[in-house]
């Protein structure tokens, strides 16, 4: 059994689309495939027409059970999607997992234990991860033999990629585990100059760690998801389906094993150069410049015009993006770690959230709480591992 965690801290880069359609393609090629939804947003169920109100038990129940040492109940929660393709759905309950597991020994191995029980029953397990680095993603990593990082072909995704690889490096160093990390170009639109440039950059840096298959931007993928079908069912002649069949072939044919040390070194080497390339690309692209003619010093600065944390007029401003969240709060050293004290306001229908507050000079750690789920600030690169193996975001108020 090969277990592929589909991971990227960035939301909207195609994780769920890849998870669903890769699973369906693997099954279509004769493999017994299990899709596990580890995102409390529950989008795998939405994308596969599993009615949310009918989900009585979810990955949450199975993981909590495993954490408490109870007998495994994975079979009880599975939905059959089509021949050889089953899915373990999630729902918002899963958002409580991290907090409920506080203090429980081995809590990052719950999914691994659950999957170990069924290792002879599936050829492939695909894990759709949440857009955050918390206990849920750690569970996916611990269970995984492979990590697939879908990267949307936009300038900011290169930046997101460095953050992602940093996290994966930290993880590999922390635990004795061999993981095969591969980058996947997703939502590629060959007609745009930006898309072509970014793909060329990615190929330059990740040639050997990148899937040759590219997932093109294809509206059939969106339409299929909105009707609750894998694209192969919705339109088997589509380019979207062809891409996923090719991806499944490439995955099946690829070598899974890579030595841990080699992996960590090669990722760290890439980190610096990919950051530099992102800056170069941005500098070369007039259309990407902000309207005010301010010199751009780095990609970080440009990003912080939009999201992240910065000091403005004596206040500290937190900006973030969660299109589907109902509630975004912040908890940190500056508010006794009580998220209720500091809710962010939703600014627009695109899902931008913001909070401005005065904070005294000093160094602070904080986390975002999104619909009850604690996570690091995805737009702040400065992170620090806390004693629980999760990441806090760090902020220096000057």
Ligand X SMILES: Nc1ncnc2c1ncn2[C@@H]1O[C@H](COP(=O)(O)OP(=O)(O)O)[C@@H](O)[C@H]1O
User: Which CB sits closer to Mg ion, 262 or 326?
Assistant: 326
User: Which CB sits closer to ligand X, 13 or 309?
Assistant: 13
Pairing of strands 124-128, 373-375: unpaired
User: Which CB sits closer to ligand X, 35 or 395?
Assistant: 35
* Closest by Cα among 66, 263, 107 to 177: 263
Nearest approach, Cβ of residue 187 and Mg ion (Å) = 13
Q: Is 241 near ligand X (CB under 6 A)?
A: no
Tokens of 365: 């750690």
Q: Is 221 near ligand X (CB under 6 A)?
A: yes
The interface partner of residue 23, options being Mg ion, ligand X, none and the CB cut-off 5 to 8 Å by kind, is none
User: Which CB sits closer to Mg ion, 43 or 302?
Assistant: 43
Q: Is 35 near ligand X (CB under 6 A)?
A: no
Stretch that binds ligand X, among 59-67, 82-90, 220-228, 287-295 (CB under 6 A): 220-228
Using CB under 5 A as the criterion, which residues of the chain lie in contact with Mg ion when the complex forms? 15-16, 43
Nearest approach, Cβ of residue 133 and Mg ion (Å) = 15
Q: Is 11 near ligand X (CB under 6 A)?
A: yes
Displacement of CA 332 from its chain's centroid (Å):
23
**Do the Cβ atoms of 43 and 128 come closer than 8 Å?**
yes
**Do the Cβ atoms of 241 and 232 come closer than 8 Å?**
yes
Q: What are phi and psi of 227, to 5 degrees?
A: -95, 0
Q: What are phi and psi of 314, to 5 degrees?
A: 75, 5
- Residue length, the chain? 398
The interface partner of residue 373, options being Mg ion, ligand X, none and the CB cut-off 5 to 8 Å by kind, is none
User: Which CB sits closer to ligand X, 141 or 225?
Assistant: 225
Q: Is 14 near ligand X (CB under 6 A)?
A: yes
Strand partners for 85: 33, 82
* Closest by Cα among 60, 210, 200, 195 to 135: 60
Considering only residues 149 to 188 of the shown chain, the ones binding ligand X according to CB under 6 A are 186-187
**Which residues are CB-neighbours of 95 under 8 A, at least 6 positions away?**
40, 370, 371, 372, 373
Nearest approach, Cβ of residue 11 and ligand X (Å) = 4
The interface partner of residue 14, options being Mg ion, ligand X, none and the CB cut-off 5 to 8 Å by kind, is ligand X
User: Which CB sits closer to ligand X, 31 or 157?
Assistant: 157
Binding-site member from 13, 110, 114, 202 for ligand X (CB under 6 A): 13
Q: Is 16 near ligand X (CB under 6 A)?
A: yes
Q: What are phi and psi of 176, to 5 degrees?
A: -80, 85
Question: What CA–CA distance (Å, rounded) separates 355 from 334?
Answer: 14
Stretch that binds ligand X, among 91-99, 194-202, 210-218, 251-259 (CB under 6 A): 210-218
User: Which CB sits closer to ligand X, 212 or 222?
Assistant: 222
User: Which CB sits closer to Mg ion, 160 or 275?
Assistant: 160
Considering only residues 52 to 111 of the shown chain, the ones binding ligand X according to CB under 6 A are none
Residue 343 CB burial class (10 angstroms; 0-12, 13-18, ≥19):
middle
The interface partner of residue 33, options being ligand X, Mg ion, none and the CB cut-off 5 to 8 Å by kind, is none
E strand map for the chain: 2-6, 33-37, 79-82, 85-88, 124-128, 146-152, 180-186, 308-312, 315-321, 328-332, 345-346, 352-357, 362-370, 373-375, 383-385, 391-397
Q: Is 17 near ligand X (CB under 6 A)?
A: yes
Q: What are phi and psi of 153, to 5 degrees?
A: -85, 65
* Closest by Cα among 258, 260, 99 to 168: 260
The interface partner of residue 132, options being Mg ion, ligand X, none and the CB cut-off 5 to 8 Å by kind, is none
Q: Is 222 near ligand X (CB under 6 A)?
A: yes
Interface residues with ligand X (CB under 6 A) are: 11-17, 43, 186-187, 215, 217-219, 221-222, 225
């Amino acid at each position: 059994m090969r277990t592929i965690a589909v991971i990227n801290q960035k939301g909207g880069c195609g994780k769920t689309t890849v998870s669903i359609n890769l699973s369906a393609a693997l099954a279509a090629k004769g493999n017994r495939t299990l899709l596990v939804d580890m995102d409390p947003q529950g989008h795998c169920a939405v994308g596969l027409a599993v009615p949310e109100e009918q989900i009585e038990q979810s990955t949450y129940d199975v993981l909590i059970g495993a954490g408490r040492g109870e007998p495994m109940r994975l079979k009880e929660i599975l939905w059959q999607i089509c021949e050889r393709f089953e899915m373990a759905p999630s729902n918002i309950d899963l958002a409580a997992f991290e907090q409920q597991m506080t203090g429980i020994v081995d809590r990052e191995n719950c999914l691994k234990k659950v999957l170990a029980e069924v290792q002879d029953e599936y050829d492939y397990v695909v894990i759709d991860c949440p857009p955050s680095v918390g206990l849920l993603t750690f569970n996916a990593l611990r269970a995984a033999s492979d990590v697939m990082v879908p990267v949307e072909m936009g300038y900011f995704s290169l930046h997101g990629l460095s953050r992602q690889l940093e996290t994966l490096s930290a993880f590999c160093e922390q635990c004795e585990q061999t993981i095969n990390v591969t980058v996947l170009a997703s939502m590629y639109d060959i007609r745009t100059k930006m898309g072509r440039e970014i793909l060329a950059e990615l190929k330059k840096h990740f040639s050997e760690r990148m899937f040759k298959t590219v997932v093109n931007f294809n509206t059939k993928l969106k339409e299929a998801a909105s009707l609750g079908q894998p694209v192969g069912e919705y339109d088997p002649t589509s380019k979207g389906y062809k891409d996923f069949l090719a991806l499944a072939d490439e995955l099946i044919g690829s070598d899974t094993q890579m030595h841990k040390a080699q992996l960590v070194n090669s990722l760290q080497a890439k980190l610096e150069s990919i950051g530099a390339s992102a800056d170069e690309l941005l500098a070369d692209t007039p259309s990407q410049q902000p309207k005010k003619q301010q010199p751009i010093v780095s990609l970080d600065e440009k990003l912080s015009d939009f999201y992240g944390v910065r000091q403005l007029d004596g206040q500290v401003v937190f900006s973030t993006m969660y299109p589907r969240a109902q509630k975004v709060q912040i908890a940190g050293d500056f508010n006794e770690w009580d998220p209720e004290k500091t809710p962010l306001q939703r600014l627009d229908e695109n899902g931008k959230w913001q909070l401005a507050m005065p904070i005294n000079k000093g160094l602070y750690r904080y986390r975002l709480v999104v619909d009850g789920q604690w996570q690091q600030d995805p737009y702040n690169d400065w992170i620090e591992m806390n004693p629980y193996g999760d990441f806090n975001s760090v902020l220096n108020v000057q």
